[in-house]
A and B are shown apart, each in its own frame.
Chain A
């Protein structure tokens, strides 16, 4: 079972470059999320999509954009990467609706911005 798949797993960018992190889930979940994980900071929510066709800002949305392409896919875009965006990014999904809070996570994408 694939679950939540993120690509790429590793990426190095130069300041000012753009890139898109891709995420897909095969569990027919309604809700999808993007988190970033930094040492000593835990996980912080960047954006989420409660259901197909909707997106909302999380705790740290500045510098990012998202697209809920369809029910399966939720991408995160960095338009002009900055060193402060060096982090590990996690995509997650959940059932939504009568959501009980169990998130299913991808393996993470390690991004370095030079």
Chain B
């Protein structure tokens, strides 16, 4: 079974600064996807960024980027130029990439990020 570990229950950052959220995972799979999801205080969760394991290039989405270290099974999220709207719970998640009905995501326990003005 896959496990996803987020070792930072809470973090804070000043507005406009950069922050990195950590995530490690454990799997014997070679083909998989990794995700960061954001859950703002309003509670509806949305996808922030996705990384395919077979891609060496780190994914980026505007101010959000990841540092994917496949051998170390590490997948951190960097938020640049933090904004007040980035305040949210962030979840790291894993999904097998093999065929069949493996559509299940396994989530970490989350990191609560607070951006301070």
Contact with B along A18-62 (1 / 0, CB 8 A): 000000000000010101000011111100101100101010000
Contact, CB under 8 Å: A108 / B91: no
- Measured in the bound complex, the distance between the Cα atoms of B93 and A103 in whole Å is 11
- Measured in the bound complex, the distance between the Cα atoms of B44 and A107 in whole Å is 5
Contact, CB under 8 Å: B50 / A50: no
- Measured in the bound complex, the distance between the Cα atoms of B104 and A40 in whole Å is 20
Q: Is the interface of B mostly helix, strand, loop or mixed?
A: loop
Interface residues on A, range: 20 to 34
Closest CB in chain A relative to B87 CB, distance in Å? 18
Say yes or no: is B33 at the interface (Cβ < 8 Å to chain A): yes
Contact with B along A77-106 (1 / 0, CB 8 A): 000000000001010101010011111011
- Measured in the bound complex, the distance between the Cα atoms of B105 and A58 in whole Å is 10
Contacts of B50 in A (CB 8 A): 100-102
B interface residues, how many (CB within 8 angstroms): 24
List B residues 86-117 near A (Cβ within 8 Å): 91, 93, 95, 101, 103-110
Closest CB in chain A relative to B59 CB, distance in Å? 12
Q: List 13 A-B contacts (CB under 8 A).
A: A40-B9, A42-B91, A42-B110, A43-B107, A45-B104, A48-B104, A50-B103, A51-B101, A58-B104, A101-B35, A101-B50, A101-B95, A107-B44
Give the B-binding residues of A (Cβ under 8 A).
31, 33, 35, 40-45, 48, 50-51, 54, 56, 58, 88, 90, 92, 94, 96, 99-103, 105-108
Give the A-binding residues of B (Cβ under 8 A).
6, 9, 33, 35, 37, 42-47, 50, 91, 93, 95, 101, 103-110
